[in-house]
Chain A
C-alpha cells in the first residue's frame, strides 16, 4: 500500500474552520462549512489541504473508484449533545440531527469531491485511525477501490476533558502499488492489530511480533501508548511524539515519520480498553513532505 498524499491539522477549538483554508478554498467552502457540523468541517478542511497541495491525486482515478474510510474514537458526540439539548428544550433541530452519525464526514466528503467508491466508518477508540487504515488496505487489496481517502478526525469537547483530545484531523491518499500514478511518498505494511480486554500491553506484544521486517525499526508512539505499552516496548528504540489524541494519533505519527524521513519506522497506538495497532512505514527515496 502506497501513501500518495498526506495532510494533517490541529486547530483551536474556538476558531472558525474557514481560517485554516486558503483564500481561494475559503471562497468555495465557506457556505458548505456553515451547513455542516465541526466533525465534518474538520474532515473537509484537512482533505481540502491534501487535494489542493496535490490536485493530481483526484485527477488520476475516477471518483467511482475512490473509497473513503473514516476513523473516529468519539465521532459526533458534540453534535449529539447539541441535538439532544435542542430536543429537551422542546425544539429538536433536524439540521443537527442530520449530523448525529459518525459516518457524516464520509458523506460530506463523498458529496464535495464526487467520490462514489466504497464508504466505511470505524469507531475503535484510540486505534480508530489505524483501524481505518487497515480497512482501506483490504478495500484496495481486494480491488474494491483503486484509491482510498483515509480520514481520522476528532472534535474536542468539555465532556472529554479527561482525555487528551483536541480538534484535529489527518487525511491520507492511498493506492495499491500496481496503480500507475505519480511517485508515492512512502510504503506501508498491512496494519497489525490485536485486542486483549483491558491489557493493551499484551495486545501490543502480539502486534509487534506479527509485523515483519520491523524488529530494528524506530517505534513512534504517543505518551499514552508509551505508558500502556511499556512492557511490550521495552528494549525497542522508541520516540514519543506529541499528538492531538483520539483516532488522530496513529495517523499523526505517520506524518512525523514522513516529515523526518528516518524510516523504516513503526507507528503504534494502544488504548486502555485493550486495543493495539501498528503499521510499518518506509519513505521512498525522493519523497519529501513539509507539514
Chain B
C-alpha cells in the first residue's frame, strides 16, 4: 500500500506551545504535571494533572479551568494554523485548488458549556441546556468551514481516537477522496473526565510512571495536535518539504472487557501486525516504538506482551518510550502528539526518555528509553494506542527517504 507525506506539524500541550517546543520539552525530560486546586470551580483533589496555557490565559495553574468556557476550539485553531503554516497552506490562495479533508479525533469535543448547563440544572431543573450535548461535530465543522473542507469526519474511539483518525486519513488519501487532510486531535481537562478516571481508580495520586514497577495510573492532560497529510507526488510538485511519511495503519478490537485490556495483549498485537502489514514493513525494519504507555498497571503490562508477540526476540533491542509521564494522558489527542514527536525523532535521530520511569517493571521486559534521550538511527516508527471498549490502533511512520530503503 502507498503512504502519504506529512508536510506540517502542530502541537499545544503542557510541555510546549508548538511542535518544536513539544520536542524540546520532551528531550528536556521534565514532567509538566502539577496538583491543581480545582477545575471549573469544583473541588477535585485527584493527584497531578497536566494543564495547558493558552496564549490569552495568565497561567496554567487551573485558573483558566475555573469556568465552563469553551477552550477546545481554541486549542485546535492554534495547532491547525501552525501545521498549515509549516505545510505552506495557511494562505487561502495556496489551498484554492485543493480538496481539503478534516479528520478530527476527540473523546469529549467541546463539552465544557454543556457541563455548565448540567450543573445549573441541579439548581434550576426547569431550565433547558442551550449548549449541544456532544460538541464533537461542532469543532470539526468550525475547522471545515474556516478552511473550506469538503470532507469532514469526527472519529471517537476512546484513547486511540488519534491513531484511528490517522488510519481514516490515510485511507482517504489512498482512495483519492481528498488532496490534503488536516488530521487533528483535541481533548481538554474537565471535572467530568478527571472525576471519571478517579472513580475508576485509573488516575494516579502520584506522578505518572510508565512501565515502572511503582506505577499507579495516569496523570490526565489536555492538548491538541495536528498533522497535514497529502500525496507524496503532490507535496513534491508544490515544492514542499516532506517531513516524514505515514505508511501504514491497523485497527483491532480486544473482544475482552469494556475498561480492562486483554491481559495477553492479543488485540493490541493484532493492530500492530495489521499496521506493519499495511505498510509493507517487516518487523525488523522498525527502529523505535512510541508506546501508549499510560502508566496503569494493566495497560503497560498488556502492551509489553503485545510487543513481544509482534517482535519476538527483536523486542530486546527495540527502543520503546512513552511521553505520558511528561505531557499526561491527553486522550483523543494522545496519538497525534506522539505522531508529532515521532516525526521529529526521525529528523533529530534522538529519542526522548520516558519521564517518570526509574525502576523498570520486570514484567515489562522492553528496551525502555529512560534517564536521558537516546541517540539512534531511526527511519521507521511504530506508534500504538489502546482504549476503553478494547479499541486498538497502530500506525507506522517512515522517514522522508524512500520507503524501499527500509526493506
A and B held together in a complex: yes
**Chain B, Cβ-Cβ closest to A107:** B389
Q: Which of A93-101, A178-186, A257-265 binds B?
A: A93-101
Residue ID in chain B nearest A85 by CB atoms: B118
- Whether the Cβ atoms of A87 and B158 lie closer than 8 Å is no
Decide: A83 near B192, CB < 8 A? Known: A101-B107, A106-B253, A142-B174.
Answer: yes
Is there an interface contact between A193 and B151, defined as CB atoms closer than 8 Å?
yes
Nearest CB of chain B from residue A105's CB, rounded to whole Å: 8
Is the beta-carbon distance between A98 and B259 smaller than 8 angstroms?
yes
- Among the stretches A15-23, A74-82, A212-220, the one at the interface with B is A74-82
Interface hub of A104, A122, A131, A135 (most chain B Cβ within 10 A): A122
Q: State in angstroms the CA–CA spacing of A87 and B387 once bound together.
A: 22
A119 on interface, CB distance cutoff 8 Å: yes
Bitwise, A7-33 to B at CB < 8 A (1) or not (0) is 000000000000000000000000000
Whole-angstrom distance between the Cβ of A147 and the nearest chain B Cβ: 14
CA distance A139 to B249 in the complex (A): 11
Q: Mark A55-89, 1 if CB is under 8 A from B, else 0.
A: 00000000110011000011111001101110111
Surface stretch bound by B, among A110-118, A167-175, A229-237, A280-288: A110-118
Q: Which residues on the A side are within 8 Å of B129 (C-beta)?
A: 159
Known interface pairs A92-B199, A100-B196, A120-B155; A114-B137 also in contact (CB < 8 Å): no
- Of B137, B149, B174, B390, the residue contacting A111 (CB under 8 A) is B390
Given A88-B119, A110-B253, A117-B253, A123–B133 Cβ distance below 8 Å?
no
Given A108-B258, A159-B129, also A144-B274 (CB < 8 A): yes
Q: Is the interface of A mostly helix, strand, loop or mixed?
A: mixed
Q: Is A138 in contact with chain B by the CB < 8 A criterion? A: yes
- Bound form: Cα–Cα A87–B390 in Å: 25
Q: Is the CB–CB distance between A116 and B252 below 8 Å?
A: yes
Query: Which B residue's beta carbon lies closest to that of A74?
Result: B134
Query: Do the beta carbons of A195 and B257 come within 8 Å of each other?
Result: no
A124 within 8 A of B: yes
Identify which of B136, B171, B257 contacts A138 (C-beta below 8 A). Answer: B171
Residues of A within 8 A of B255 (CB): 63, 110-111, 113-116
Residues of B within 8 A of A68 (CB): 253
Interface residues on B, range: 35 or more
Is B354 close to A, CB under 8 A?
Answer: no
- Compute how far the CA of A76 lies from the CA of B391 in the bound complex, rounded to whole angstroms: 17
Q: Is the pair B153, A94 in contact by a Cβ cutoff of 8 Å?
A: no
On chain A, the residues within 8 Å of B144 by CB distance are: 195, 197, 274
Question: Is the CB–CB distance between A92 and B196 below 8 Å?
Answer: yes
B134 and A121 contact, CB distance less than 8 A? no
Asked if B267 is an interface residue, CB under 8 A from chain A, the answer is yes
User: In this complex, what residue of B is CB-closest to A83?
Assistant: B196
| A164 is an interface residue with CB less than 8 A from chain B | no
Contact of A194 among B150, B197, B201 (CB under 8 A): B150
| B154 on interface, CB distance cutoff 8 Å | yes
Contacts of B58 in A (CB 8 A): none
Closest to A274 in B: B141
Query: A67: which B residues are within 8 A, CB to CB?
Result: 251
Contact A115 B253 (CB under 8 A): yes
- Asked if B97 CB lies within 8 Å of chain A CBs, one says no
> Are A103 and B156 in contact (CB-based, < 8 A)?
yes
B222 at the interface (CB under 8 A from A): no
Task: Kindly provide the distance from the CB of A206 to the nearest chain B CB, expressed in whole angstroms.
Answer: 8
Q: Is the CB of B258 within 8 A of A104?
A: yes
**B252 and A117 contacting across the interface, CB-CB below 8 Å:** yes
Q: B115: CB under 8 A from chain A?
A: yes
Asked if A131 contacts B153 (CB within 8 A), the reply is: yes
Q: Mark contacts of B168-183 with chain A using CB atoms, 8 A cut-off: 1 yes-contact digit, 0 otherwise.
A: 1001101100000000
Partner of B122, one of A85, A116, A123, A138: A85
* A110-B255, A116-B253, A160-B133 known; A103 vs B141 contact (CB < 8 Å): no
A-B contact pairs, 24 of them (CB 8 A): A67-B251, A75-B156, A81-B133, A83-B196, A87-B199, A103-B158, A106-B391, A110-B254, A110-B389, A111-B254, A116-B252, A118-B252, A118-B253, A120-B157, A121-B156, A121-B157, A122-B153, A122-B155, A123-B154, A131-B153, A138-B171, A195-B144, A197-B145, A273-B137
- Chain A interface (Cβ < 8 Å from any Cβ of B): 63-64, 67-68, 73-77, 80-81, 83-85, 87-89, 92-94, 97-104, 106-108, 110-111, 113-125, 131, 135, 138-139, 141-142, 144, 157, 159-160, 193-198, 206, 273-275
Q: Which 4 A/B pairs are nearest by Cβ-Cβ distance?
A: A107-B389, A197-B145, A77-B133, A118-B251
